[in-house]
Amino acid sequence: MSRINSEAEYLEALDRMVKGAEMIEHPLASEEQRKQYRRVYDAIEAEVLDWQRRQLNREQVTVESPQVEQQPDVPVEEAKPTVKLSAWLDDDE
């Protein structure tokens, strides 16, 4: 089995896994046939798991690394003294 490179190939591989499982469990299959089917099934399963892992990594990369725009250098303003707004309440006039 070659590397899965598309969604269509992935779905085809899943289909082959189901058919392979049926062949492994077939009551008329000999032990030798079951071993052969199992080797093929295991190879397909490994490729399916590899595809799933690559897809998950691709999704994580797009979520974790969004494109951030570079902000131009803006000078930082000096802190201004704060004015107490309640100061006008203390007027005795």
**Mind listing the pLDDT tens digit for each residue in 43-68?**
999 999 999 999 999 888 776 655 65
CA atoms within 13 A on the CB side of 36: 6
The conformation of residue 6, written as its DSSP 8-state character, comes to S
What is the number of other CB atoms lying within 10 angstroms of the CB of residue 38? 14
> Letter for the amino acid at 32?
E
Give the mean pLDDT of 21-32.
96
For residue 40, is pLDDT > 60? yes
pLDDT of residue 59: 84
Is 73 part of any domain?
A: no
Q: CA 93, CA 78: separation in Å to the nearest integer?
A: 36
Is 30 part of any domain?
A: yes
Q: Which residue has the tokens 């798991």?
A: 49
Note if the pTM is more than 0.75. no
Q: Which residue has the tokens 């979520």?
A: 63
| Structural domain count of the chain | 1
Containing structural domain, residue 39: 7-64
For residue 11, is pLDDT > 70? yes
For residue 93, is pLDDT > 60? no
Is 41 part of any domain?
A: yes
pLDDT of residue 61: 78
For residue 78, is pLDDT > 80? no
Say which residue, 78 or 19, is predicted with more confidence.
19
Is 1 part of any domain?
A: no
Residues 24/37, Cβ–Cβ less than 8 Å = yes
